[in-house]
Chains A and B, each alone.
Chain A
Amino acid sequence: DTGVSQDPRHKITKRGQNVTFRCDPISEHNRLYWYRQTLGQGPEFLTYFQNEAQLEKSRLLSDRFSAERPKGSFSTLEIQRTEQGDSAMYLCASSLDRGQHEQFFGPGTRLTVL
């Protein structure tokens, strides 16, 4: 399967712990996006990368959140000192940087903070 993959699929953690999620985009895609989806809402944009450069961050991305894409391939999203309000589905998407830039979404990582 050559689609977008995310790991883990589910994560349960206690408040105050740090968590890290990984996203592997489609191999030739140089744009990578992170979104967050809370219960009953549509996904909301968090940040995106063009190769290894993080070019835009949403105001939703507080200073407890950090994202990296060190070699322009996979990306990680870390949440430090998790809070119950961080419980959500975290979606990753990737696209080419030409044409319509159509995004392909991964299955998501569901985070539950107890």
Chain B
Amino acid sequence: AQSVTQPDIHITVSEGASLELRCNYSYGATPYLFWYVQSPGQGLQLLLKYFSGDTLVQGIKGFEAEFKRSQSSFNLRKPSVHWSDAAEYFCAVARGSGTYKYIFGTGTRLKVLA
């Protein structure tokens, strides 16, 4: 069965510092991969997605992620964090056939220090 692991429940960084949020997935083939951000009480906003092709994916708000098949990882990065990036971040995986339902990780809550 597919699964997604986000090992870090909470991460705190200083404004201007770099950020990396980890995501590991379990799936037999190359899945579709996504990162979403959710502010308190809000819905999900898609940051970026990977379906195939170039393994380094650029997203909105200056985020990028790299698909590493050998490590079953899809880590999210940002070179310089802004206070407005404080939110919860979810990694998701979907099988590229059948239901196409999304399996989400448990999320990483990001706190940004001024």
Q: Hey, which bits of chain A sit against chain B, CB under 8 A?
A: 31, 33, 35, 40-45, 48, 55-56, 91, 93, 95, 100-103, 105-108, 110
Residue B99, interface by CB 8 Å: yes
Give the distance in Å from the alpha carbon of A42 to the alpha carbon of B35 in the complex.
Answer: 12
Contacts of A31 in B (CB 8 A): 100
Counted as pairs of residues, one from A and one from B, with CB atoms less than 8 Å apart, the total is 50
Against A, the Cβ 8 Å flags (1 = close, 0 = not) of B65-104 are 0000000000000000000000000101010100111111
Contacts of A91 in B (CB 8 A): 43-44
From A42, A107, A110, B92 is in contact (CB under 8 Å) with A42
Given A41-B107, A45-B101, A103-B100; 9 other pairs, CB 8 A cutoff: A40-B106, A40-B107, A42-B105, A44-B104, A45-B103, A55-B99, A91-B44, A100-B96, A103-B94
* Top 6 A-B pairs, shortest CB-CB distance: A42-B104, A101-B100, A107-B43, A45-B101, A105-B44, A100-B51
Contacts of B44 in A (CB 8 A): 43, 91, 105
- Interface size on B (CB < 8 Å)? 22
Tell me the interface secondary structure of chain A in the complex: strand
A24 to chain B, nearest CB (A): 14
A43 to chain B, nearest CB (A): 5
- Chain B residue nearest to A93 in the complex (CB): B102
Give the distance in Å from the alpha carbon of A113 to the alpha carbon of B92 in the complex.
Answer: 28
Give the distance in Å from the alpha carbon of A106 to the alpha carbon of B42 in the complex.
Answer: 10
Q: Are A33 and B101 in contact (CB under 8 A)?
A: yes
A89 to chain B, nearest CB (A): 8
